[in-house]
Chains A and B, each alone.
Chain A
Amino acid sequence: MNKILIKGGMLHTMQEPLFCGDVLVDDGKIAAVGPSLEAKDAQIIDASGLHVLPGLIDAHSHIGLFDFNHDKSVDDANEMTDPVSAAMDARYGMNPKARELQVAYEHGITSMLFTPGSGDVFCGQPFVAKTYGDNIFDMTVKAPAAVKIALGGNPKNTFGALKRMPMTRMGVAHVLWDTFRRAKTYLENQEQNIPQDYDPQLEAILPALRGEVPCKIHCTQYDMLTAIEVAKAFGVRFSLEHAWGASDYLEELVDSGCDICYGPIATYRAPGERRRVDVEAVKLLDERGVNVALVTDSPILSEESLYHHMGEAVREGADPERVLRMVTINPALQLGLEQRLGSLAPGRDADIILVKGFLGLDTDAKVQLTMVDGRIVYQL
């Protein structure tokens, strides 16, 4: 593949403070980042006056799994036949031709975590993929990327309607405790070579127990306490997804060492899970050292609304430069993909965007060019 040299842009590397410099791309990877680079036989892209950022990451999306592109919407995100459906692999529900993916990379979003929905307690296996490509298995960066878990209204309404456990939050907590206990025993048996029946659902939870992937736990308001209690008891890494009401539980969240995927921000306020939608929590958590990512839950809120999510965090006082981290390096770290995604540094995937204006601050900031794996996939 040809070399590309991006010259004279304002570089947001996510590693050092903003500076004016160049990025050299070679064979789909970033080869060098510096104040003044030279490269023979490289295609030159003039980035003067533009911000240069790592491709954006949305760490919680259902694009291609929920499909609203037709009158009758498609739900391939929720296998709601058993509250423990941990083995469901989101890659097989995903439509790689979903039109939203183009909107995503045209807006500079080059990687996303695609996850099963929240209709079960153990909902399935999310994966991380690039937004440009033809075959979802080729686009995939990491699979499975997490164990998706959901608390609250969604699972209890799914199974409550069928008069099956869980009908209540008590029931959800029980399923959570019970399943993790069984998975832990299953893992111990496996490690000690004690014969046991193969259990595909428990198998799917093992990567979390072994610390290879985090649990992504859908919860809001006081459900966060349940999530923290169980996750800590089994020593898994975890992020709380959506996390409305997080500012009410600041101390607990900081102490737990969890990550946060905050969003979608827009929702009407109502008693219960929508009681408090506290965008200001993003700033408070970031200041306390919690790794916060901003997520759209697309296509529930559409992909391009990631900018508006960033903007609402800025409106509530978050520093725009910190907010850029919430859609780049922070989600990359949460997913253990910081060696490939989320920053401009030698060796990283050449997922790079050139932007006119400051994303999350200037409402008319616009991506001029998107590069995925060293290939220019969009140019204004």
Chain B
Amino acid sequence: MYLIKNGTVHIGDGTILEHCDILTEGNQIQAIGSELSAEGAVILDASGCEVFPGFIDPVSSIGAMGIPGRFFDNNETSDPVTPEMNLKYSMDPDEVNAQEFYKSGITTIGLSPTHNNLMGGQIAVCKTAPQKMARRLVKEGAALKCSVTSDVKQTYGSNSRLPMTKMGTFFLLQESLRKARSTPAEQRDEKQKVICSVFDDCKMPVFAAASSKNEIDGLLHLMQKEKVELTLVDGLAFADSLEQILEQKVGLILGNVNNMSQIAKHNMDLTKLQDLVANGNKVAFTNSCGGWSEGREVFLWSAIEAYRAGVAAEDVVKMLCLFPAQMLGLQDRLGTLEVGKDADLSIFCGHPVKTYAAKVVHSMINGEVLF
């Protein structure tokens, strides 16, 4: 049992409570309010500190890359359509531990396939501690990871396999859906069962990587009549397709925008994030970009870029907490500080969106203080 005293508490949905206490018991939040007390609770003084729900990276490559990035257990490129792959089996806790994610406030990551397959597999969500896997895994099959980026055509086209072009990529997407749907339920293979459960029964949302304008436009065109919830991953040229994104209200996960000239290359206008916020589109950030990662720091850097582009600090906080939890269908457990939710907390000595001097002073996962 822990009692976090007198912090500036960011609920995660944009609300701020000053001089607020949080009581945790077991792995859950027990109470939030002022002047709380509890016998036997370990006191953590958070005076002058900013308390946040643990941040969530919904599409992390780290954790399944296979240290030191040689084995790529997130990259089953034996076939461009592998929706049945479950990232749970690629999760390497030591790879996650080595990153010290807590130093960037991150307590949950969604392990994701690379962008090389049209349908790469199912995202598995895990905490960044403790070591015991049963307590680390939050949810498997949290989202189906798809991709229409040029990574797909480069992966298969070089072996003279479909898809070799973007036409091929989009053809394969349409054809995979048509074929699965037109196959009688009892005759569907494993891949087709997953496709139908996702696109017809909406058993899990779709996270689809699309970076350039024609990739985003093509994907949104194709998904217009689909009812499954869609989130764009690495939608770097989002500002060029703003109208469609606003209209279809799809989510957007921005990968490391400070990576490999993304801002210059895509002529990125991050100020357009304000339009997404006003329209109610969900936005989140990830340490990964292009199915690869430059490390945990870039997660906060992308958040800072959003703030620099005029998004209000507490709207950015939502993008670190509430929105990624909703994208992964985990809003009942994660993303906000509320009674009954998981006791995952990141306590900074400043506001990490506003000042670089903000450093994590305490990190809690499942009600256990790990730092």
Are the chains A and B members of one assembly? yes
| Assembled-state Cα–Cα distance A118/B357 (Å) | 33
Asked if A361 is at the interface of the complex by the 8 Å CB criterion, the answer is yes
A268 and B258 within 8 A (CB): no
| Assembled-state Cα–Cα distance A272/B69 (Å) | 11
B68 and A272 within 8 A (CB): yes
352-369 of chain A: CB within 8 A of chain B: 360-364, 366
Pick from B17-25, B137-145, B187-195, B300-308 the stretch touching chain A. B300-308
CB-CB < 8 A to B62: which residues of A? 268
Q: Count how many chain A residues have C-beta atoms less than 8 Å from C-beta atoms of the other chain.
A: 40
Tell me the minimal C-beta distance from B65 to chain A in angstroms.
7
Pick from B47-55, B172-180, B274-282, B291-299 the stretch touching chain A. B291-299
Q: Count how many chain B residues have C-beta atoms less than 8 Å from C-beta atoms of the other chain.
A: 40
A265 and B356 within 8 A (CB): no
A266 and B264 within 8 A (CB): no
Tell me the minimal C-beta distance from B279 to chain A in angstroms.
23
Number of A-B contacts (CB under 8 A): 110
A271 and B68 within 8 A (CB): yes
| Assembled-state Cα–Cα distance A298/B259 (Å) | 9
B98 and A301 within 8 A (CB): no
From A268, A302, A362, A366, B354 is in contact (CB under 8 Å) with A362
Closest to A323 in B: B356
Asked if B99 is at the interface of the complex by the 8 Å CB criterion, the answer is yes
| Assembled-state Cα–Cα distance A243/B256 (Å) | 23
CB-CB < 8 A to A360: which residues of B? 356
Tell me the minimal C-beta distance from A277 to chain B in angstroms.
7
B99 and A269 within 8 A (CB): yes
Closest to B257 in A: A302
Can you add 4 more A-B contacts, CB < 8 Å, to A312-B356, A315-B357? Answer: A99-B261, A299-B260, A302-B263, A363-B354
A sample of 20 cross-chain residue pairs with beta-carbon separation below 8 angstroms, ordered by A number, consists of A99-B261, A102-B264, A103-B264, A266-B256, A267-B295, A268-B65, A268-B294, A270-B68, A271-B68, A299-B260, A300-B260, A302-B259, A302-B263, A308-B297, A311-B304, A314-B357, A316-B359, A360-B356, A363-B355, A364-B308
B residues contacting A by CB (< 8 A) are 62, 65, 67-69, 95, 98-100, 150, 256-265, 267, 287, 293-298, 301, 304-305, 307-308, 353-359
A residues contacting B by CB (< 8 A) are 68-69, 71, 98-100, 102-103, 264-272, 274, 277, 298-305, 308, 310-312, 314-316, 360-364, 366
- Give the 4 A-B residue pairs with the shortest CB-CB distance, closest first: A311-B356, A270-B68, A305-B258, A99-B264
